[in-house]
Structure 1
């Protein structure tokens, strides 16, 4: 299985197509941090295809497109729901997709997760995802390991998969002192420049098991600062409250429960010494790729595409059987001696 560009895959599916529908919406206002924009950036800038992202309501365009016999490709991402509200919109989406594929429309589906991170409505998703895999003409993954995992789960042949690597994120270099000062001033906090700083960046969510890392940091014999920065994901207030309670007992933990503006992302990565990931389950991690872009030391679970980073000099992987507390202590001590 070789790596392929999206352009080559689209051309192989429909050489006459000039339009690609993308679901969900591309955030053009966040060109340095939006995964979808970065994935399609080259196609957008070179105008190889017209890239149009669709809302749920706009799925009707798929039906119009095939009945007007105009060449278009649908590139879908995720295809999951975590609330009753989003569930109500699923029949409409599936109807439009079904009509599109029945009348000759070509579909590329990017598989990001083995199962939804929140693990809600798992029975329905276990039915839905194999159906989508059969409808799709090509299945996009970011690494070979993901293809090996998902071909067994979805019961589809190997030839349907193609690898197009995860896009890299632009890096903005700042001195550590400036980055820390910016965070302290804007978020009204106090980060000590002297102690090692660990970062868990992104949505505050249970599957990231942030509470476990926070509890370990609080009891380590070596001082360190764990910064957790990102909005609280809907339905995950319990883990947020746990983190707030821990923060009140120690200055080793700083929780910033807000959406981090794109221009502030560089502050956090330039300020930190170690990026920590503790996913319960993961197939592809945008957070790891963001940390790699900033050339940060990374501690992450040996799961999914992350496993392919085992030989990377800045990445240390761990398994569920490894002593995570000892590993964190070793990484902090390593930082002190550098």
Structure 2
């Protein structure tokens, strides 16, 4: 069986695809991929290697969105045309949906129109949670029978994890007695970092520190965050892409990970925190209450006034180590071998082959 991943991150900045690819190959699946987004690059990339049995689409936004409306229409029409040609030569299309629309909301109505067309062209759609399946059915009007729920795999043993809490805090020049709240991930408006800073400022608790760690989408959000936290010396920011080997420093320095998303379909950051054995503070929306439970997390209703700060205050009376260990055990069930097997079964369904 031959499968072609698009887009494929050959640099490995996100190990998600490589973990899936490696475990699919263990099952005898031949996997190639391309990270090129130019018009009609899909057909060139696909047939320059070999005609695949399956085209597995992971993130569709780069193929649809341009710098203006005209370019967006041209790119989107071209991409849909390429998919039609692939279907005519009997290449099956599988799409793992990570986001409903792009988080930046650029040309959202236009993007949604073409994304609905894309959904209708797929032989199968993969999502990571039951809530995501409900959203896809509702928004894309896709058939439930088309959609397969396969969990997001864990990151256990994916990143180095040898540094102790004391060593990690020392590297970051944090006092040992401080309770460390960590936000980790890409820094974008929908991540709720402004609300996190406001809540942390209200804690007014001298033994706490907040670390905001990740690569910002633009300078505007950097200035906004710095302005909101400039009067609180207990907030420390690291506006940069964190190399794989250094993720352990921030995760192991932290007592709890805070991910106050405004909306979410799938969260790799939650799986990452669980894989490092950390309790999590997050809103009870989307996939989050389907991934976490009350034994390992502090879930809150985002509509509740001061819901986030109330969740943060619960940290001071909780057994954080026990909660983190619970999340680590939960994360173990999201094994990549099992996930690759389920993905392989989706491919077989498309090709009408025995599993």
- Give the structure-1-normalised TM-score: 0.83
Q: How many residues align?
A: 309
Q: What residue is the counterpart of 1:216 in the other structure?
A: 199
Query: Which residue among 315, 319, 327 is the counterpart of 1:331?
Result: 315
TM-score w.r.t. length of structure 2: 0.79
Alignment-derived partner of residue 4 in structure 1:
none
Deviation at 1:93, TM superposition (A): 2.8
Alpha-carbon shift at residue 318 of structure 1 (Å) = 1.4
CA contact (8 A) 2:260 2:308 kept: no
Distance in 1 separating the partners of 2:150 and 2:193: 30
Question: 1:303 aligned to 2:289?
Answer: no
2:67 to 84, 93, 99: 84
Partner of 2:246: 264
Secondary structure in structure 1 of the residue aligned to 2:118: helix
Alpha-carbon distance, 1:26 to partner: 2.5
Shift of 1:337: 11
Q: How far does the alpha carbon of each residue in 1:290-312 deviate from its partner, in whole angstroms, 9 at most, with x for none?
A: 01111101011112211213535
Spell out the pairing of 1:8-47 with structure 2 (5 A cutoff).
18-30=1-13, 33-45=14-26, 47=28
**How many Å separate the matches in 1 of 2:54 and 2:283?**
35
1:179 aligns with 2:168: yes
Cα distance, 1:94 vs structure 2: 2.8
CA shift, 1:41, in A, is 2.5
Which secondary structure does the structure 2 equivalent of 1:311 belong to? coil
Structure 2 CA distance, aligned partners of 1:91 and 1:173?
A: 49
The match for 1:8 is none
Q: C-alpha separation between the residues in 1 aligned to 2:286 and 2:104?
A: 17
Deviation track 1:193-234 (CA, whole Å, cap 9, x = no partner) reads 21110111111110111011112212313231111111111x
| Deviation, structure 1 residue 268 | 0.8
Structure 2 regions of 5+ residues with no counterpart?
323-355
Report the counterpart of residue 15 of structure 1 in structure 2: none
Corresponding position: 1:232 with 2:232: no
Over aligned residues, Cα RMSD in angstroms? 2.5
CA distance in structure 2 between the aligned counterparts of 1:71 and 1:175, rounded to whole angstroms: 46
Structure 2: distance between partners of 1:26 and 1:148 = 28
Post-superposition CA distance 1:301-330 (Å, at most 9, x none): 112211213535212221123322222122
